[in-house]
């Protein structure tokens, strides 16, 4: 908290003979005003508590120099306080988004996965994560892309599985398989032309039956050395039993889970041809209770 006092209102005093509750805390000046600036737990600041508020108090007082014998100035003190309500109702925007997934494994070094939504099958424009959740209309196409970034060139990305869940939890008991063991499970899923480090696909939008407002997409990915026929990447679509094999520590990474979302159903208007995604920001209202420990940390 900061107190500004005009020098013209306290003639005869300056920053050299003014202090706060803690005598070691002096004040400053900007030329026209005397300034006292303190945090809520320093310079002798005192705290009082009522039923509704926390009140922090300090004061600016004048003092005489030790070498002075007399004075012709009145002594004065200025009390300044700062009040915080214990409860306050605030509005905040909820912007769900996922950043890059970073991993380090021998011998692949550092690498990262990026999972993004796109606005069309051209995969040229990424939907801004700040506009999440992404609103979709039933049966309109959702376009997604997974890419890997690495300093190595001879690598291959493999998306082994993808599933949808109503919560941001890939192990949610309620799920819908899109890709399983490298095989397409959803009949509307389309895999587009990809390269060794990118996987782009799309499917028709849907909604979980029941009281579920959102959909998250989680995928299991593996990074392999390109050209090695013994890796999981080279096997592609396979059944569960043949997929049970010992992982090559040299030619492929561990399985990593990445996710993106949420998607939510657009119930406001009907869709139009060529329009697959509509964006908005979900606004929630929360109540914060400010504990004393939080305030003292300011």
Q: In this structure, are residues 111 and 149 in contact, taking their beta carbons and an 8 Å threshold?
A: yes
CA distance to 43, 86, 149, 295, per residue, from 60 (Å): 11, 26, 58, 22
Mean pLDDT to the nearest integer, 113-131: 91
Above 70 in pLDDT, residue 73?
Answer: no
pLDDT for 71 equals 47
Tens of pLDDT, residue by residue over 235-287, are 999 976 444 556 555 788 889 999 998 998 887 644 444 343 333 333 323 33
**Long-range pairs of 106-110 with CB within 8 A, sequence gap ≥ 24:** 106/249, 107/250, 108/150, 108/152, 108/155, 108/223, 108/253, 109/150, 109/151, 109/152, 110/150, 110/151
Above 80 in pLDDT, residue 191?
Answer: yes
Rounded distance, CA 18 to CA 33, Å? Answer: 13
Which residue is it, tokens 């890796």? 231
Element (H, E) at 295: helix 292-296
More confident residue, 93 or 114: 114
Q: In this structure, are residues 164 and 175 in contact, taking their beta carbons and an 8 Å threshold?
A: yes
Rounded distance, CA 258 to CA 144, Å? Answer: 13
Tens of pLDDT, residue by residue over 14-44, are 667 787 888 788 788 888 888 888 877 788 8
Q: What percent of the chain has pLDDT over 90?
A: 32
Which residues fall within 8 angstroms of residue 203, CB to CB, at 6 or more apart? 141, 142, 178, 186, 188, 189, 190
pLDDT for 246 equals 60
Above 70 in pLDDT, residue 105?
Answer: yes
Above 70 in pLDDT, residue 93?
Answer: no
| Helices of type H across 124-254 | 232-235, 240-243
pLDDT for 42 equals 82
Distance linking the first and last C-alpha atoms of the chain? 10
- Round the average pLDDT of the chain to a whole number and report it: 78
Above 90 in pLDDT, residue 192?
Answer: yes
pLDDT for 241 equals 47
Above 80 in pLDDT, residue 62?
Answer: no
Nearest to 280 by CA among 120, 18, 107, 96: 96
| pTM of the entire predicted model | 0.56
Q: In this structure, are residues 65 and 17 in contact, taking their beta carbons and an 8 Å threshold?
A: yes
pLDDT range class, residue 6, cuts 50, 70, 90: confident
Rounded distance, CA 146 to CA 197, Å? Answer: 8
Mean pLDDT to the nearest integer, 225-235: 89
Mean pLDDT is highest, among 2-11, 124-133, 155-164, for: 155-164
For the chain, how big is the Rg over CA atoms in Å?
Answer: 31
More confident residue, 179 or 102: 179
Q: 198-235 burial, b if ≥16 CB within 10 A, otherwise e? A: ebbbbbbbbbbeeeeebbbbbbbbbbbbbeeeebbbbb
Tens of pLDDT, residue by residue over 130-189, are 888 899 999 999 999 999 998 888 899 999 999 999 998 989 999 999 999 999 999 999
Q: Which two structure tokens, joined as six digits, stand for 28?
A: 């400053």
**DSSP assignment, residue 279?**
E
């Amino acid at each position: 908290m900061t107190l500004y006092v005009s020098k013209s209102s306290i003639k005869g005093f300056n920053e050299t003979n003014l202090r706060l509750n803690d005598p070691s805390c002096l004040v400053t000046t900007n030329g026209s005003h005397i300034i006292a600036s303190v945090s809520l737990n320093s310079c002798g600041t005192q705290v009082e508590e009522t039923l509704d508020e926390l009140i922090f108090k300090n004061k600016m007082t004048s003092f005489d120099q030790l070498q002075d014998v007399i004075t012709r100035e009145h002594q004065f003190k200025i009390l300044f306080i700062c009040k915080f309500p214990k409860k306050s109702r605030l509005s905040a925007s909820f912007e769900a988004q996922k950043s890059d997934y970073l991993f380090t494994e021998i011998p692949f070094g550092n690498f990262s996965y990026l999972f993004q939504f796109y606005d069309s099958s051209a995969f040229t424009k990424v939907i801004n994560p700040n506009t999440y959740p992404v609103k979709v209309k039933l049966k309109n196409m959702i376009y997604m892309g997974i890419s890997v970034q690495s300093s190595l060139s001879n690598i291959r990305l493999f998306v082994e599985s993808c599933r949808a869940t109503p919560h941001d939890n890939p192990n949610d008991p309620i799920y819908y398989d899109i890709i399983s063991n490298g095989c397409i499970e959803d009949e509307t899923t389309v895999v587009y032309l990809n390269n060794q480090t990118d996987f782009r696909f799309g499917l028709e939008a849907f909604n979980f039956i029941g009281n579920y407002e959102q959909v998250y997409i989680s995928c299991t990915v593996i990074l392999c050395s390109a050209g090695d026929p013994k890796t999981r990447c080279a096997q592609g679509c396979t059944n569960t039993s043949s997929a049970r094999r010992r992982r090559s520590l040299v030619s492929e990474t561990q399985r990593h889970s990445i996710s993106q979302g949420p998607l939510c159903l657009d119930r406001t208007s009907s869709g139009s041809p060529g329009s697959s995604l509509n964006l908005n920001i979900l606004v929630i209202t929360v109540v914060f209770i400010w504990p004393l420990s939080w305030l003292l940390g300011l």
